Structure 1
Amino acid sequence: MSTIKVRVDQKRLERAAYVLKCVAHPVRISIIDLLEQKQRLSVSELQEALKIEQSLLSHHLINMRDKGVLQTQREGKHVYYSLLDTGIVQIIRYISGNKAL
């Protein structure tokens, strides 16, 4: 009888669960998808693409930034968001059914 074991160490599993909980919302998954297409976007660009209220978008962006999914860069009046860990885009690839995106 062969022995099976967990292939991922506990710290990586905990981090994965933390990130998955953070992004488990359609708007947040959409933000990841948009940032995968264009490496950085301003709040106004994200708002235009998502067609949601700026206050709701800011709530999602701040939460994702605080949890280490996104990073920000300020240029004058504009704040640009980008993915901190691009490995998260694998979720989008899986959801879309296209592993070669």
Structure 2
Amino acid sequence: MSTLKVRVDKKKLERAAYLLKCVAHPVRISIIDLLEQTDRLSVSQLQEALEIEQSLLSHHLTNMRDKGILLTQREGKNVYYSLPDLTITNIIECINSSKTF
């Protein structure tokens, strides 16, 4: 009988669980999907694509920014959002390739 072992370092598992909790919402996953398609988007561009209230979008963006999932860059009156690490976008591929979703 073979001995089973967890193949992922404990710190990596903790970070993955933290990130997954942070993005565990359809709007947040949609934001990641949109930002994967371009370098950065403004709040108004995200709002137009997602068709949601600006206040709700701001809530999600702030949460994701505070958790380190998004970066912000201010240019005049506009704030642009981007992904500092594109590996988070693998979640989109997992969702699209899964037969259970």
TM-score when scaled to structure 1?
0.93
Q: Which segment is superposed worse, 58-67 or 1-10?
A: 1-10
Identity %: 78
Which ranges in structure 2 are unaligned for 5 or more consecutive residues? Answer: none
Question: Match of 1:38?
Answer: 38
Question: Match of 1:67?
Answer: 67
Question: Match of 2:87?
Answer: 87
Question: Match of 1:10?
Answer: 10
Could you tell me how far apart the structure 1 residues matched to 2:15 and 2:85 are?
Answer: 12
Could you tell me how far apart the structure 2 residues matched to 1:46 and 1:58 are?
Answer: 10
Could you tell me how far apart the structure 2 residues matched to 1:12 and 1:80 are?
Answer: 29
Which ranges in structure 1 are unaligned for 5 or more consecutive residues? Answer: none
TM-score when scaled to structure 2?
0.93
Question: Match of 1:29?
Answer: 29
Could you tell me how far apart the structure 1 residues matched to 2:39 and 2:94 are?
Answer: 19
Aligned residues: 98
Equivalent position SS for 1:3: coil
Moved segments of 4+, more than 3 Å: none
